[in-house]
Structures are given as C-alpha cells and as structure tokens.
Chain A
C-alpha cells in the first residue's frame, strides 16, 4: 500500500457545486495532516491543516478519520478559481525523522 494515496481525477465540477476529495495514508503513526494546493507550474501552497476534530475555513472543510486512516477535503460553492491540483500531505515524525509525504494530487476543474 502506498504511503499516501489520492484519486488523481480530474474532477470536472460545475461552478457552485460541492466537491469532496479523500486521501488515505498507510502509517498509523502519522501525526499531522495538511491539504496543499498547487496551481499549474507553481509551487505547492498550504491550503489548510487538518485537525482531529475537523476544521473549517470559509468554503473549505477538512476532516480526519484516524480509525480508517483517511482525510477529506470538502469544497462548497466552488469557484472557477478553485481549479487546481489538491495535494494531501502527511507528516510522520519518528526519532527526529520528520518525513513529509505528498500524495500525487487530485486535479479539480471548475466548469463555468
């Protein structure tokens, strides 16, 4: 099983719709989780951290399910500017080995 897995998409979603992505991880010792956004030919940028209790930032909601080892990202009322690749990131820290692992990303296209 890969360390971090995501559905590569693309997800083609009409503007205004709600879309959700999942990401599974294999290491149960993983400690922190993030969603990054990467625009075409740009560097990844942090979208939001994922907290155990779930967290919301405007139209974006992130959730963590430790039992099933997955995280999710929900985007409500999607905008054209949400078109990007969304990268799931898992941080496992063991014995000073701070390993940040990226998923392959899920491509999202918001359609006008």
Chain B
C-alpha cells in the first residue's frame, strides 16, 4: 500500500498549457504539503494545508493553485506553464503540528516544460 501517492510520475507539456498533479495520502494525516525540487536539488516548500485549510503559501506565483477537496487529497494546478516550472514536485503529509512530525513523501512528479 502506497502511503502517499501522486500522479502522474512524469509530465511533459508545452509552455502555456495548464496541468494538474494529484496527491493522495492514506495515512490519516492532517497536514499535506507540496515541495518543488529544482535542478540544484533544493527541496523548497510551496504550500502547506492542514485539514483542507491553507496554512503556508510561500512566494509561489499565482499560476500555482493548490486544491484540497478533503484532508486526504492535495492537488496542484498550474496555469500557463513556463520553462522555469520544470522541476520535480513532491507531495508529502505529516501528522498535525506538535513536534516530532516526520513527513512522508510521494514518489515525485517530474515536470518538463518544453
């Protein structure tokens, strides 16, 4: 059983398109995240949701819009894709804040914008 699953695993698309990446966790966690890992391998937090409510929104362009239909899902929609959006996007989940909360990651979605 995959604890955190995200789809698709690979996504190749043209500039200007709109695309979505889906993420689901079956761990019963309250908090979910999206991270972006760029070519330099730096994992940077983009969004954090707690019980479907946006908690963290780092300096991410408005073209990125997370949507959480329920606490087990956090999807990432990207409008008007740009070349610089090419990266690996990781979804993660953790128990609610309280200390000692490790994050469990999905396998990543490798987005290539051409």
Contact = CB atoms under 8 A, between A and B. Distances in A.
Interface of A: 31-32, 34, 38, 42-46, 49, 85, 87, 89, 91, 93, 96-102, 104-105
A101 B41 CA distance: 14
Interface stretch (B63-71, B72-80, B90-98): B90-98
16 contacts: A43-B90, A44-B90, A44-B105, A45-B105, A46-B102, A46-B103, A49-B102, A91-B99, A98-B48, A98-B50, A98-B55, A100-B33, A102-B42, A102-B45, A104-B40, A105-B43
B42 A104 contact: yes
B35 A96 contact: no
A32 B100 contact: yes
A97 B55 contact: yes
Contact of B105 (A34, A43, A93, A98): A43
B31 interface: yes
Central interface residue in A44, A85, A101, by most chain B CB within 10 Å = A44
B99 A93 contact: yes
A100 B106 CA distance: 15
B100 A99 contact: no
Interface in B32-90: 33, 35, 40-45, 48, 50, 55-56, 90
Contacts of A93: 97-99, 101
Nearest to A99: B56
B43 A96 contact: no
B109 to A, nearest CB: 10
Nearest to A33: B100
Contacts of B43: 44, 87, 102, 105
A91 B101 contact: yes
The CB with the most chain A CB atoms within 10 A, among B92, B94, B105, is that of B105
A98 B45 CA distance: 11
A101 B45 contact: yes
A97 B99 contact: no
